């Protein structure tokens, strides 16, 4: 019986997308329940409540946490290591790059507008940047496999 060996970059991308989805789901839950259970400081520079309840936590009427949840739901689908789904490399890269761009903006907002840092947000930011790296890695391993069959 032959076993199909999964592309490590695909597995890493999918795993990161799931982790981002879970953190975003938690942040969405906290947004709608008043951020009462955030396991994070609520005083000083590290202040999750200040970040998640600031006026900057909603953009165009949409909570940033909900936008993150939608983003990670889409990236989870794009990163699902399923055969026969066509070439999704470009949408994956564009999505991951857009997420990394959003992270830069959100870090700016935390540091210079809200004047506080949320550890949960930082975790999802790190996952987003790592996801960009693994999606690029995945694209390159696919290219190499096509060039060297």
Backbone angles phi, psi at 141, to 5 degrees: -65, -35
Long-range contacts of 32-36 (CB under 8 A, 24+ apart): 32/63
Q: Is residue 1 part of a domain?
A: no
Selection from 111, 132, 20 nearest residue 65 by Cα: 20
Q: Could you tell me the sign of the dihedral formed by the alpha carbons of 35, 36, 41, 44, in that order?
A: positive
Residue 133 belongs to domain with CATH number: 1.20.1440.130
Q: What is the mean pLDDT of residues 6-21?
A: 94
pLDDT digits (tens, 9 = 90+) for 92-149: 999 999 999 999 999 999 999 999 999 999 999 999 999 999 999 999 988 777 777 6
**pLDDT over 80 (residue 41):** no
Residue 148 resides in a domain:
no
- Tell me which residue range forms the domain holding 120: 9-80+87-143
- Would you say residue 139 lies in a domain? yes
Is residue 36 pLDDT above 90, yes or no? no
pLDDT of 16: 98
Element at 58 (helix H, strand E): strand 58-59
pLDDT tens per residue, range 55-68: 999 999 999 999 99
Cα–Cα distance for residue pair 146/102, rounded to 1 Å: 32
Report the number of distinct structural domains present in the chain: 1
Distance CA 104, CA 48 (A): 18
Residue 4 forms part of a structural domain:
no
3 state SS of 42: strand
Asked whether residue 30 is domain-assigned, the answer is: yes
């Amino acid at each position: 019986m032959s076993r199909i060996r999964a592309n490590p970059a695909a597995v890493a991308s999918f795993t990161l997308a799931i982790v981002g989805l879970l953190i975003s789901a938690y942040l969405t839950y906290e947004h709608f329940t008043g951020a009462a259970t955030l396991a994070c400081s609520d005083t000083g520079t590290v202040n999750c409540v200040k970040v998640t309840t600031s006026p900057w936590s909603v953009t165009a009427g949409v909570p940033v946490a909900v936008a993150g949840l939608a983003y990670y739901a889409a990236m989870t689908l794009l990163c699902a290591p399923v055969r026969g789904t066509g070439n999704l490399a470009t949408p994956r890269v564009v999505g991951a790059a857009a997420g990394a761009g959003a992270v830069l903006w959100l870090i700016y907002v935390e540091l210079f507008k809200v004047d506080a840092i949320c550890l949960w947000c930082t975790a999802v930011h790190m996952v987003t940047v790592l996801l960009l790296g693994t999606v690029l890695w995945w694209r390159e391993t696919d290219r190499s496999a096509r060039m060297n069959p």
